Amino acid sequence: MSDLAQRSELPASGSDLKLEREGRPWLWILVGLVVVGTLSVAATMLMGKSVVYYKTPTEILAQPSGQVVRMAGTLVKGSIQADAGAGRTTFQISDGKSAVTVLYLGSAATALSTASQPGTQIVAEGSLGSDKLFHSTKLLAKCPSKFQAKTNASS
């Protein structure tokens, strides 16, 4: 018991207490930096694959194959070929300089049914294959405006 009575929980002098208080802020700064770094890395990894930019057919042909991108361009009139038996649709998208053939597995009738008009903008998400076909997993068609001002022919 005498050993326990001689031990003290408090530091022997005021200078030891001061050093103990000053030594802890670096620990909280270190913990904060680790948390911020971890969250930054996690956010970058999660957003890395979800952020996809639009590219033109000319840009798609210039890049290496296999990268997942969104290609935007104008549907080439008369290029739609649907093979219902094989379950695939092919068509071409152009930016005025280059044209890329798009292969879409599945029925693209919904997206392309209203896209047969000249000047229809198409967005295809996918990747350029080694066969120089753009293998699309998603299609979006921006239809030309059908709402136009009515002209008055009687005036």
pLDDT tens track for 10-38: 555 555 555 555 667 888 899 999 999 99
pTM of the predicted model over 0.75: no
Which is higher by pLDDT, 58 or 105? 58
- Tell me: do 100 and 59 sit in the same domain: yes
CA distance 78 to 33: 58
- Tell me: do 135 and 65 sit in the same domain: yes
Contact partners, residue 99, CB within 8 Å, separation at least 6: 57, 76, 92, 93
42-47 average pLDDT score: 82
28-50 average pLDDT score: 86
- Tell me: do 58 and 36 sit in the same domain: no
The mean of the pLDDT values for the chain is: 76
Q: Is residue 97 part of a domain?
A: yes
CA distance 108 to 121: 15
Tell me how many domains the chain contains: 2
Tell me what pLDDT residue 155 has: 46
Q: Is residue 7 part of a domain?
A: no
Q: Quick check: 96 pLDDT over 80?
A: yes
CA distance 74 to 81: 16
